[in-house]
Amino acid sequence: MIYVTLFWLLFNLALIPASYRLRACFAEDDAPRSCPTCGCCERVDKVRDSDPAWGVYESEAFCANCRTSVGYWAHGYWDPSYRDDLRREYLAAAALLALCLTAAYGLFDVTAMAA
């Protein structure tokens, strides 16, 4: 029981920086604030679909520094999958970190889990 408790404690501690980084990278409406890769706050928008009479329908935002795609805007809304993908990466990294730290302290045998 103590092993599971320690694992969840380490897992949640590893998620604290990730939650701050998610808030730093994306606004509440999923608009990109900064690049998750390099941290640059400037972006370049590339229009994907537009109409001269109605304006821009779809636009993709790229980091001005590393040219990573940081967001996609279509019909008035930002695509939330960019934030969700980053959240999944952080969850996987936090779980791996917590597992490695718990195993490093010798609290359980990792090889027994594989069997």
Could you tell me how many residues make up the chain?
115
Q: Are strands 69-74 and 43-51 parallel, antiparallel or unpaired?
A: unpaired
Question: 17-65, pLDDT tens digit by residue?
Answer: 767 777 788 988 999 999 888 888 999 999 999 888 988 999 999 999 9
Residues 6+ apart with CB under 8 A from 93: 14, 18
* Predicted structure pTM score: 0.66
- Predicted confidence at residue 107, as pLDDT, reads 58
Task: Walk across the sheet containing 43-51 and list its strands.
Answer: 43-51, 55-63, 69-74, 77-78
Question: 59-93, pLDDT tens digit by residue?
Answer: 999 999 999 899 999 999 999 988 888 888 888 88
Residues 6+ apart with CB under 8 A from 103: 109, 110
> How far is residue 12's CA from residue 19's CA, in Å, rounded to a whole number?
10
The continuous run of DSSP H or E covering 88 comes out as helix 81-104
- Predicted confidence at residue 97, as pLDDT, reads 79
